[in-house]
Structure 1
């Protein structure tokens, strides 16, 4: 049965390059199931934002990976239009872990059907003191980045060994006084000294090194954030510290944090506040 919704389908350019066949299927399913469907093919983030800003009364549907979903939520939040907008997403691309964790079906057809037949669910949001948003869980320190994928079909991520050797030899030949470059060793994910405060109460201070800190919107309906701190263990494994609160502040030495497939920082202090039911996502009923 066709829905009387007017849909604005915004297809992220990376999705078109990554899986054009899935994008075609999504367009066919949505066009057949909705009375009015407008498809936008932005070439970059600015056109992506303009398409959302000009949506009118149409319900926006983002076709893309986790980064496209995060870009849409962040834009609507900055425009203070998030509360009145029911967002839909059809995951296309390699990064889909965030969408799956939020309950979005996997597969182009199932996700497109959920857009047409699903219901809006209000979800909590973490907003930091720089007006950034976090949809899922964040972790300190940030996890190591994933390996860089090949740049195109059939193209290896690195040149063959013989070609790399020839290039290096040519550079040494043409450079009479090659500059000496000191290469720093890769950063290790080791213990951090951080102060973690939840609703004004200090859970761990700078004198207690920690292995990791994780913060995520609570899923039990409490409307707060689940905080877990893993202290450095000496001998037996240390018991994690857990708390639930509405305002979490982390401070200390420069630290990076990973959230929603992105790495941010370094920062010396950051505060996240829970916004209850701040955004709506269409999910299977």
Structure 2
């Protein structure tokens, strides 16, 4: 672990979505960081490509990302693909609408507290899950995703829009707000509940040992980096009558295969795939967190 001095040179990268959604929190965070740092460079990228270019040209400056969970994932994924996570301590000030991942990692979600943690916090090494397509998972992986099929498609569409820079167009947000204002609100009968995805037939292997096979339908699978180079795996079998007990395991390498399946990794939905292997990379991410 490393404790940072407030005189560190900082590269502050502010996500465009954060600037539009909560400009006041962004301003407060900038003021706190500026007051505590001897040298601070602020960058305002307008899209993912510019975001990546700024981050890769950071030089000796410590990167600070102001943005939501998608910004955090984008930064970690980029640094991982360039194999630069080992020598880079990432700092994050969570600002935006989706911050559940940031909270789960221990990041403060208040602008002042988060900015102070950047200046006075400690670098802690966290485990990552890395799949066989070089994708990363910081928090939880769930199969099937904890959303209905329709919601999963909507999430995937949103992620694609963010990646394409569509959300950087202020006129789109203005039109959406106008439509919501003009459409009258009428009382509606409750919509029928979406039953969500049914049981899946999946083979789950942990470090080469079979945890569940295709002949046993499962309701859900979750994989979470548990620290010390191992992931916590939980499989919930489909129950008939009395609720079936979950199957639990810990291991470094988890392989899931079977019929086409989708999975939720942090804030995004991926798939469908027929086989995917996740491996724990111990201490791969250095994240600046508040002193305990």
Q: Give the TM-score category using the shorter length.
A: 0.7 to 0.9
Between the aligned partners of 1:32 and 1:273, the Cα distance in structure 2 is: 41
Q: Which has the higher helix share?
A: 2
Residues 234 and 248, structure 2, Cα contact 8 Å, conserved in 1: yes
Aligned to 2:35: 32
Residues 5 and 120, structure 2, Cα contact 8 Å, conserved in 1: no
Aligned to 1:275: 281
Residues 151 and 157, structure 1, Cα contact 8 Å, conserved in 2: no
**Superposed, which structure 2 residues align to 1:193-232 within 5 Å?**
193-218=201-226, 221-232=227-238
Between the aligned partners of 1:159 and 1:197, the Cα distance in structure 2 is: 53
Aligned to 1:72: 75
Between the aligned partners of 1:223 and 1:268, the Cα distance in structure 2 is: 26
Between the aligned partners of 1:90 and 1:71, the Cα distance in structure 2 is: 14
Where 2:178 maps in the other structure, the secondary structure is coil
Larger Rg: 1
Aligned to 1:173: none
1:50-104 Cα shifts (integer Å, max 9, x gaps):
0111100100000000000000000000001011100000000010000000000
Structure 1 window deviating more from structure 2 (139-148 vs 100-109): it is: 139-148
Residues 7 and 36, structure 2, Cα contact 8 Å, conserved in 1: no
**Superposed, which structure 2 residues align to 1:177-196 within 5 Å?**
188-196=196-204
Residues 228 and 282, structure 2, Cα contact 8 Å, conserved in 1: no
- Structure 2 residues not aligned, in runs of 5+: 159-171, 186-193
Query: Normalised by the size of structure 1, how large is the TM-score?
Result: 0.86
Where 1:197 maps in the other structure, the secondary structure is strand
Structure 1 window deviating more from structure 2 (257-266 vs 1-10): it is: 1-10
**What is the count of residue pairs matched by the alignment?**
260
Q: 1:83 aligns with which of 86, 89, 92?
A: 86
